Chains A and B, each alone.
Chain A
Amino acid sequence: MTDVLKTAKNCRHYAMCKIDFLGSGLCRSGEERHYVSFYPQGRMDLYAALAENRVPVTPQCVEIAESCDLCGRCDYPCYFVTEMKPSAVMKALKEHVRRYLESGGEVLAPEKDGILDGMKGIVGDGWATNDRAIAVTYADDPCPAAAPRLPAYVVMPDSSAEISALVKFLNRHGIPYAVRGNGSSVMGFVMSEGAVIDLGRMKTIDFDEKNWLVKVGAGVAAFDLQKAVVARGYRVNVAEPSALVCANIMCSGIFSTFSASYGTAADNYVDAEFVGPDGGVFRLSDPAAPNLFGFRREDAALPGICASAAIRLHAVTADESAVFVPFTSLAGALDFSRECAMRRIGLAIGVLGGEYISTFLSPTAKLADQVKSAFRDKLKIAFLVLVIGDAHALRAVREMGYHGFDSRLMRILNLGLPSLTSAGWLDLIGELEEEEPFSYLGLAHFADLAEAALAPSPAQLAAAVDPELRPFFEEIYARPEMTDPVWLNMFRIVSARMGREKHVVAMIVYLPIDNRLIAEIDAEFRRIAGRHGLKNDFGFITPLDNGKRCVFEYDYYLDQNDEEEKDRMRQAMMEAGMMIGKFAAETGTVTWIRHVFRQGFCRKECFLYQGAGVSE
């Protein structure tokens, strides 16, 4: 396999090329044509399919190749997350098509299709296609549990009326369909042999500040919404930046570290507009609407297509900041996070694995690996609890007797990461840890000393990346928000780095913050992954409902192109599911996210607490 094909086949489908999170601009053709095929992600899939003779050269294949102007801006976001440079694939795609055409190759036009004409009649000529060059970019994702399925059609409606007409049309013709927002796709939910309804054109963001709401179209990504909301002085609770807000609510209910105070599932929205399976349009606030606030503890069918949602706006104060409190044990971190949640201290709370700093903050895997031991072995950080809050909340944390890495210190560490590997003074600090863990964080001048020792600067951090991209990275690391933990947690642009080396499969469980129970489940996740030879790690834990419950993510990793590893992953996922089921039955307090899938609009109480308000 050539390096270019390897890059193409390793696209994680995290869709970070579809949001302009670095301010470097989006792929122009993607913004105009909206089909995923016109974004770098789609071109990666298309090139891989062409190189492996899975699709012919079609008219839209030619258009996709020719619409790339080789501006190279796709390298910035992709390198930021995965260290891959897709521009090489873009060049190879153009070259492949050019040579094919020059050699007199036939451009295979799709056949006439009455169904397609019917869909075009609903959405317009440019927004429905049966071209295989488009279809192949909707055929697969890295989820090991879902097999590729090439859709016959891809259609992009622009309103609930169009969705309604489409659903009725597809029902009439007995064509199955899957719905997607055209954000990240890693769960295997958005493939169909019939039609894929891509809602990516529905990018409306309408504010209703009087009611603390923002009405969001189904094609709006979390990053774009947060950006628009922050510009007006608010915040919303959203998940991964490239995830589509409506799809994310539908899929799993939005949970983030801010869920500690903003909640999850139905807590995040006030109303939503749906197109039901019969094509009828309804709003959740309508008393006659289907009850999506309820919950069934079983695998659920799609209750409808969410066309828009009215999302809650939250207030932001000027004194918000963050602190990362380190712990040598998970139990200590859980105790602290529970105490904060029960006392309602902080807006966002997250128990993070000790590798959080090295993986998330390092621009390269190599640097992450080098600094990992500084945090783990020298500073003895096994876990960190992130608390974001206003000045009162952070003062309360200090008054509780905890010291941590504050926003300033995190910025110093981030921009000085490369110097950490040779910082001898960390050894001394590490040795004192035996006596008083993390007491150095209580020193009034510790940040000054760290700044002197690490000489942090955007240039220093940028020196770790590919020389070609250094000037750009130096410029972005000079922006205050790129090292501001509050901004980074609101926009979550660094968490996708978890998948830098391998694709991440997140195991998510809701349960009480019970140290023993969590330790047991954590150990079981680890044991199962170990038995199947899978890379695995603690993800994060965020308290929910004032510390009565929490959401716990444990991550398994796989090479998405390694069939044998995918087999092992499937086996591990099955065993993990059985393990969670066993704990659920034994405790009556554990819920698996599998049952929340497609029921994310429900009230969180319905799945967090068995028995109360649950429709069985």
Chain B
Amino acid sequence: MNRGGATAGGPYLLTGATGFLGSHVMAGLLKKGEGVVVVGRRAGGESLAERIRRLLEWFGIEHLQERLELHEADFREPRLGLRPDEYELLRRRALPIIHCASDTRFAEKNREAVMAANVGSLAGILDLARGGPARCFHFISSAYAAGSDGAECREIPVHSRNFNNVYEESKALAESAVLAFCRQHGVAHTIIRPAIVYGDARTGRSLKFNALYHPVRSLLQLRDIYLADLGKNRGKKSAACGVRLLKDGRLHLPLRICIPNEGKINLVPVDYFTAATLAILDGPENGAIYHVASRRPAAMAQLTAFSARFLGLSGIEVIHGAAPAAETRNPPEELFDYFIRPYRPYISDRRVFLRENTDRATGAMDPPDFDYDVFRRCMEYAVAADWGRKLFSIPGGQGEKEGKRDKGVER
């Protein structure tokens, strides 16, 4: 398929293949029979090959390794840190590029690093796309690059200058840079903007446990803190803030989650993101922007109810409006608020992501409803994976059954 100069079909050159989204795109392409040329970095003393090997094992697709070609790179260096001949050869192969690599940190103190990773390093990657008429540059951005000043977000270039954090800002800047470069050099391109991506809705499996997982994990930790107090300290601290064990075994944990308005959390499972992205890659429209987002986003109240049920808690309330004065908050409220601070903009979000292009590319494929079963599967897997620390040691290969119950979950 070729629309407006964009060409479908691989092999694809992929960056960010060791990340959450990139790895799923890699696995999706490999399973589809496509070849993938991975350009990525070593990290934590591990080579790119070792990192990819572990991921293939996690996906249960070691047998597809032969469809992979690896190039260990450093995006901060000229020519991505590749040898001149290696870089030149890659460039000449005119592969369609999927640029997934990204620094997803939100804090302002990381501005320099985030900007360098998400914007500064673009030049070397874009340069790979210069020259051949057949290539297409697919940029995996974020729905939140749209900025924070509009309720209705269309699949058009970013106009906002207001962002919730440096990550959003960097993605917006990167989109502009990609568009400008591709227009200047006649490179076909697409921008794919996912909303908040969580684990596989069918299996619960995930490689990353931030965003959706973070509030749940925070509540679990709070629950365990007060269970420890009740168990080892005769509940001295629990009593002071009204925490007690109920007859039905649940823990009553008075905790007000204050959000400015009802808003929503726009969640899509990673299996949906992958399917949608592969569909877009199958029929890319040059210059199109795609919102891979939910039409029916979840509400914080729903997520809170799921969390309370899963963790065996009562007393958690969602309150809309201004946050209470700091001095009136109890210790669990303060700690919970601290834990979820980076995610605050996303749990009472009024933005609606229109998805005309995505519907066209995916045949109006919708993500599954975010119901309790999906939630439970994902959280059981997260607990079994110890929120990522035991990710690669969970027994069960592709993990259809590995979501084992941990202490006191869903009492």
* With A428-B339, A445-B331, A445-B334: A452-B217 Cβ-Cβ less than 8 Å: no
A445 to chain B, nearest CB (A): 4
Given contacts A427-B387, A435-B106, A435-B342, contact A443 B335 (CB under 8 A): yes
- The distance in angstroms between the C-alpha atoms of A554 and B151, with both chains bound, is 59
Determine if B228 is an interface residue (Cβ-Cβ < 8 Å): yes
Residues of B contacting A453 in the complex (Cβ-Cβ under 8 angstroms): 224-225, 228-229
On whether A443 and B334 interact (CB within 8 A), knowing A428-B339, A434-B107, A449-B225, the answer reads yes
Residues of the B chain whose Cβ atoms lie less than 8 Å from the Cβ of A448: 237, 240, 331
Residues of B within 8 A of A444 (CB): 326-327, 334
Query: Is B221 part of the contact surface with A, judged by Cβ < 8 Å?
Result: yes
A419 touches B228 (CB 8 A): yes
Q: B109 near A: Cβ within 8 Å?
A: yes
Residue A187, interface by CB 8 Å: no
Complex: A419 Cα to B332 Cα, angstroms: 19
Which B223-272 residues sit within 8 Å CB-CB of chain A?
224-226, 228-229, 231-233, 236-238, 240
B217 contacts A435, CB within 8 Å?
A: no
Q: How far is the CA of A419 from the CA of B338 in the complex (A)?
A: 22
Q: Are B228 and A434 in contact (CB under 8 A)?
A: no
Is A440 a contact of B338 with CB atoms below 8 Å? Answer: yes
Contact A449 B335 (CB under 8 A): yes
**Known interface pairs A435-B107, A439-B338; A445-B228 also in contact (CB < 8 Å):** no
Nearest Cβ on chain B to A434's Cβ, whole angstroms? 6
Q: DSSP class of A's interface residues: helix, strand, loop or mixed?
A: helix
In the complex, what distance in Å separates the CA atom of A377 from the CA atom of B221? 18
Contact partners of B334 in chain A: CB under 8 A: 443-445
Q: Does A289 contact B (CB under 8 A)?
A: no
Q: Is A300 an interface residue (CB 8 A)?
A: no
**In the assembled complex, how far is the CB of residue A454 from the closest CB belonging to chain B, in whole angstroms?**
8
Contact B389 A455 (CB under 8 A): no
Answer yes or no: A451 CB below 8 A from chain B CBs. yes
Alpha-carbon distance A122/B75, docked complex (angstroms)? 81
In the assembled complex, B295 has its CB within 8 A of some CB on chain A = no
Cβ contact within 8 Å between A455 and B326: no
Within 8 A of A (CB), among B315-350: 326-327, 329-332, 334-335, 338-339, 342
In the assembled complex, A472 has its CB within 8 A of some CB on chain B: no
Is A212 among interface residues, defined by CB-CB distance under 8 A?
no
> Interface size on B (CB < 8 Å)?
35
Considering the complex, which residues of chain A in the window 387-403 have a beta carbon less than 8 Å from any beta carbon of chain B?
Answer: none
- Bound state CA distance, A427 and B220, in angstroms? 12
Is A424 in the interface zone, CB < 8 Å from B?
yes
Smallest beta-carbon distance A447→chain B, Å:
9
The residue that A452 contacts in the complex, of B238, B329, B342, with Cβ under 8 A, is B238
- Given A439-B338, A444-B326, A444-B334; A452-B226 close (CB under 8 Å): yes
Q: Is the CB of A425 within 8 A of B221?
A: yes
Q: Which B residues, 105 to 119, have Cβ-Cβ distances below 8 Å to chain A?
A: 105-107, 109-110
The verdict on A108 contacting chain B, using a C-beta distance below 8 Å, is no
B226: min CB distance to chain A, Å = 6
Interface residues of B: mostly helix, strand, loop or mixed?
helix
Given contacts A425-B221, A425-B224, A434-B107, contact A455 B338 (CB under 8 A): no
Confirm or deny: A436 has a beta carbon within 8 angstroms of a beta carbon on chain B: yes
Indicate if A578 sits at the interface (CB-CB under 8 A): no
CA distance A424 to B221 in the complex (A): 7
Closest to A460 in B: B232
Complex CA gap A211/B228 in Å reads 54
B218 at the interface (CB under 8 A from A): yes
Alpha-carbon gap, A435 to B238, bound state (A): 29
Q: Does A517 contact B (CB under 8 A)?
A: no
Which residues of chain A have C-beta atoms less than 8 A from B236's C-beta? 452
Number of interface residues of A (CB under 8 A): 24
Q: Give the residue name and chain of the A residue nearest to B109 (CB).
A: A436
Q: Which residues of B contact A443 (CB under 8 A)?
A: 334-335, 338
Residues 66-93 (chain B) with a chain A CB within 8 angstroms: none
How many angstroms from the CA of A434 to the CA of B335 in the assembled complex?
A: 17
**How far apart are the CA atoms of A432 and B225 in the complex, in Å?**
18
Chain A min CB distance to B343 (Å): 11
Task: Report chain B residues within 8 Å CB of A440.
Answer: 338
Q: Which of B272-304 contact A (CB under 8 A)?
A: none
CB <8 Å contact, A425 and B225:
yes
A443 to B222, CA, bound (A): 15
Is B233's CB under 8 angstroms from A455's CB? Answer: yes
Selected from B217, B218, B232, the residue in CB contact (under 8 A) with A455 is: B232
Q: Which residues of B contact A445 (CB under 8 A)?
A: 329-331, 334-335
Residues from chain B with Cβ under 8 Å of A457 in the complex? 233
Let me know if A432 and B339 touch, CB within 8 A.
yes
Q: A428-486: which residues lie under 8 A (CB-CB) from chain B?
A: 428, 432, 434-436, 439-440, 443-446, 448-449, 451-455, 457, 460
Chain A residues in 8 Å Cβ range of B326: 444
**Cβ–Cβ contact B107 & A436, under 8 A:** yes
Contacts of B220 in A (CB 8 A): 424
Contact of B218 among A428, A435, A439 (CB under 8 A): A428
Given A428-B221, A445-B330, A448-B331: A435 in contact with B110 (beta carbons within 8 A): yes
Instruction: List residues of B (189-221) whose CB comes within 8 Å of A's CBs.
Output: 217-218, 220-221
**Which of B106, B342, B389 has a CB less than 8 Å from the CB of A427?**
B389
B276 to chain A, nearest CB (A): 29
Nearest chain B residue, comparing its CB with the CB of A447: B331
CB-defined contacts of B339 to chain A, threshold 8 Å: 428, 432
From B221, B329, B334, residue with most partner A Cβ within 10 Å: B221
Q: Give the residues in chain B near A427, CB-CB below 8 Å.
A: 387, 389
CA distance A443 to B387 in the complex (A): 24
Bound state CA distance, A439 and B341, in angstroms?
Answer: 11
The interface centre, meaning the residue of B237, B332, B389 with most chain A CB atoms within 10 A of its CB, is B237
Distance between A37 CB and nearest chain B CB, rounded to angstroms: 47
Q: Is the CB of A452 within 8 A of B237?
A: yes
* Chain A, range 21-68, C-beta contacts under 8 Å to B: none
Residues of A within 8 A of B106 (CB): 435
State in angstroms the CA–CA spacing of A400 and B14 once bound together: 46
Within 8 A of B (CB), among A221-249: none
Q: Which chain A residues border B218 with CB–CB below 8 Å?
A: 428
Which residue in chain B gives the minimum CB-CB distance to A436? Answer: B107
Give the docked Cα–Cα distance between A440 and B224 (Å): 18
- Cross-chain contact A435 with B338 (CB below 8 angstroms): no
State whether A452 and B228 are in contact (beta carbons under 8 Å apart), knowing that A424-B221, A428-B218, A445-B330 are contacts in the complex: yes
Query: What are 14 A-B residue pairs whose CB atoms fall within 8 Å in the complex?
Result: A432-B338, A432-B339, A432-B342, A434-B105, A435-B105, A435-B110, A436-B109, A440-B338, A443-B335, A443-B338, A445-B331, A446-B335, A452-B229, A455-B233
**Beyond A419-B228, A452-B226, A455-B231: 11 further Cβ-contacts under 8 Å?**
A419-B232, A427-B387, A434-B110, A435-B107, A435-B342, A436-B107, A436-B109, A440-B338, A452-B225, A452-B237, A460-B232
